[in-house]
Amino acid sequence: MCGIVGFVGKKACADILVKALKRLEYRGYDSAGIAVFEGDSLKTVKAKGKIDEGLVRKLSEETPLTATAGIGHTRWATHGEPSDINSHPIGNGRISIVHNGIIENYRKIKEFLISKGYVFESETDTETVAKLLDYYYKGDPMEAIVKTAAEIEGSFALGIIFKDFKNTIFAIRRESPLIVGKGEGESFIASDVTAILDHTKDYYLLEHNEIARLDENGARFFDFNGNVIEKALHTADWDLDAAEKGGYKFFMLKEIHEQPEAIRKTITPRISDGMPDLSECGLTPEKLRGYKNIFVVACGTAMHAGLVGKYVVERIGRIPVTVEVASEFRYRNPIVSPDDLVILVSQSGETADTHAALTLAKDMGAETLAIVNAKGSKIARDADMVIYTHAGPELAVASTKAYMVQLAVFYLFAFELAWARNAISEEKCRSLVKGLEEMPALIEKVLEKPDSSQFAASKLVAAENLLYIGRGLDYALSMEGSLKLKEVSYIHSESYAAGELKHGTISLITEGMPVISVATQTDVFDKTVSNIKEVKTRGAYNIVVARESRQPGSDAADFIITVPETDDILMPMLAVVPLQLIAYYTGDLKGNDVDKPRNLAKSVTVE
Ligand code: M6R
């Protein structure tokens, strides 16, 4: 969703702002712009469309800018269509702002401002903030910001510049993320740290209702009463390489290949003497023994990781697990009690619905555990306990490595829970942990042979519809395979429990329609193969993901992609890799911008 950047220093800032905005492209956007202190004025350049085609083209038509301070924005449209006029920065000649979030009471404020004679140009909620700031601004920026923030409701991160306060940026946030970067003689604001990694790894996390003031002397922080706040400086453990493609055509492919390393980084600190150890987050064996029910609440791919988690935890831990999409959970008055554990899963840690579900679970007295990739993010900070996944920055909109490490955490969690509750023996627990430790090397083997996934992609590229089917863990996995394909190839696909097909959906099968089956689970293998035969009989072209040692015959499968041997329960980590690759290659073959699929944003900070 929207991205914010800002720079104050001694160098010309236009290129710095544009480059920082490009680093935020992965968040998803449809227009971009900057506003800078040029001479004694505020100069704004903004345009609909991709940064290079819109903003950069417009900048190239201008006299080169010499400003050394300014703000920038990538907009993902919510209020008002993507257009030059609705793009940010938004303001007038004396104030300019960039905004990430949604102002919920903007209509009321707009009516008030119209009654005071203000005329609105855009359809955005952001313009009400710019004009309210203007209304309250009587020469003291802090006063105007505090009065404005007291009136606006909803979520916001704002970068604000005042013509009268040359080379000074003000920033404030509530809900939406914002960091303040500290460089050598220069300061930054940004929606996330990837935007500033070209310059510095040091940053401050701006908290709710804190105001930052950046000028040539650095950054200072204030509360609403003007008191100075001392803040801890953080250092990003992501380097620039992690935020660059490193020879891969797309981030998605790079991130698929980073999965073995991401698993190693995520599990190694949580395995002690061959046994799982999640005590760092406060999950003790006593707590694990005490929970009555477990809920997993998340969105999209993170929810799919929770589905695999459910099968694994229930199978070996023998405790009920309910998995639900956050946008449903938050509004259906769920039955959650203080004896329950609610697990929130999120790569970004900023997803609005997942955060709302967290708040609800806490209000209902449940203990909350966040599984999050982005350090210091909202969900991580607000949950009772947090387990960070160590995927590094995931910049492709389609999540791959974040999903993989979410699975890794669910496995450790399930193993420790099952052991703590005496549902498995120590020997079994050790052997499962060993299997998990072997996973990175096995995934590397799968990644060495992308040809079969490429071939499968070539069979999908002309399809208009297809099905993913599986049973048990294979079904949970096929949901993720189907979502991945939809996201990056735009081909319509559905995931179905293989045994449910004949209750209706099998009517969709037509001659040559591709069906991707996942058939790795020993206990249901024969049943799944029967279902694969059922669709073959009706004309389907069957692509099957199966383990090396147990493959369906040619009477069922048209094309088989094999994965190496591991415990049934760990199979999803291996079998998901061909599904990710199939989605990637299909999207690429179709000529799509695989990293930034249409209509999608990386972190969904609105509901
Ligand atoms: O940042 P989160 O993990 O909370 O995001 C949740 C979903 O929006 C996300 O997984 C989405 O489904 C991805 N684009 C899937 O690839």
The 3-state DSSP class for residue 161 equals strand
Distances (CA, A) of 159 to 70, 109, 179, 193: 9, 20, 11, 16
Confidence of residue 143 (pLDDT cuts 50, 70, 90): very high
602 is catalytic: yes
Sign of CA dihedral 363, 365, 366, 369: positive
Residue ID of nearest Cα to ligand 1 atom 4: 346
Q: Please give the biggest Cα pair distance in the chain.
A: 80
Confidence of residue 26 (pLDDT cuts 50, 70, 90): confident
Tell me, yes or no, if 2 is annotated catalytic.
yes
State in Å: Cα 484 to ligand 1 middle.
11
Q: Which pLDDT band holds residue 176 (cuts at 50, 70, 90)?
A: confident
Mean pLDDT of 199-206: 94
Residue 84: pLDDT above 90? no
Instruction: Name every protein residue with a CB atom under 6 angstroms from any ligand 1 atom.
Output: 299-302, 346-348, 351, 354, 397-399, 487, 600, 603-604
What pLDDT is recorded for position 76? 87
351 alpha carbon to ligand 1 midpoint, in Å? 8
Average pLDDT over residues 266-275: 96
| Residue 564 CB-half CA count within 13 A | 15
Mean per-residue pLDDT over the chain, rounded: 95
Q: Which atom of ligand 1 is nearest to the CA of 304?
A: 10
- In this prediction, residue 555 carries a pLDDT of 95
Residue 261 confidence (pLDDT) above 80: yes
- With beta carbons less than 8 A apart as the criterion, state whether 581 and 449 touch: no
CB contact set of 555 (below 8 Å; sequence gap of 6+): 533, 536
Q: Is-contact 305 403, C-beta < 8 A?
A: yes
Q: How confident is the model at residue 607, as a pLDDT?
A: 76
User: Which positions ≥6 away from 153 have C-beta within 8 Å?
Assistant: 103, 104, 105
Chain segment 220-237, per-residue pLDDT in tens = 999 988 899 999 999 987
What residue's CA is closest to ligand 1, atom 9?
Answer: 300
Q: What is the pLDDT of residues 524-563, one digit of tens each?
A: 999 999 999 999 999 999 999 999 999 999 999 999 999 9
The alpha carbon of 601 and the centre of ligand 1 are apart by a number of angstroms equal to 9
The residue whose CA is least distant from atom 10 of ligand 1 is 301
348, 399, 409, 593: residue to mutate for ligand 1 pocket, most atoms within 8 A of CB: 399
Any idea which of 225-234, 292-301, 518-527 has the lowest mean pLDDT? 225-234
Q: What is the mean pLDDT of residues 91-118?
A: 94
For ligand 1, pick from 407, 604, 606, 607 the residue to mutate: most ligand atoms within 8 Å of CB.
604
Which residue is closest in CA terms to ligand 1's atom 6? 299
Classified as helix, coil or strand, 516 is: strand
Pairing state between β 294-298 and 341-346: parallel
The mean per-residue pLDDT over the stretch 231-256 comes to 86
Provide the percentage of residues in the chain whose pLDDT is more than 90.
88
The answer to whether the CB of 157 falls within 8 A of the CB of 4 is yes
CA of 301 from ligand 1 middle (Å) equals: 5
Among 347, 410, 576, name the best residue to mutate to test ligand 1's pocket (greatest count of ligand atoms within 8 A of Cβ): 347
Say if residue 364's pLDDT is above 90: yes
Residue nearest to atom 7 of ligand 1 (CA): 300
Q: What is the pLDDT of residue 389?
A: 96
Nearest to 544 by CA among 466, 470, 493: 470
Catalytic residue of the set 2, 13, 281, 429? 2
- The predicted pLDDT at position 422 comes to 97
What's the gap in Å between 299 CA and the centre of ligand 1?
A: 6
**Band of pLDDT at residue 184, cut at 50, 70 and 90:** very high
Q: How does pLDDT run across 47-57, given as a tens digit for each residue?
A: 999 999 999 99
pLDDT of residue 432: 98
Dist. CA 521–CA 472, nearest whole Å:
8
Query: Of 302, 364, 376, 373, whose CA–CA distance to 333 is shortest?
Result: 364
Q: What angle do CA 110, 113, 114 make, to 5 degrees?
A: 85
Cα(551)–Cα(520) distance, rounded to whole angstroms?
9
Residue matched to tokens 């150890």:
277
Band (pLDDT 50/70/90 cuts) for residue 118 is very high
Q: Which helix (H) or strand (E) holds 431?
A: helix 426-448
d(CA 21, ligand 1 centre) in Å: 21
Contacts 24+ apart (CB under 8 A), 118-125: 121/85, 122/80, 122/85, 122/86, 122/90, 123/79, 123/80, 123/81, 123/86, 124/79, 124/80, 124/86, 124/88, 124/90, 125/78, 125/79, 125/99, 125/154
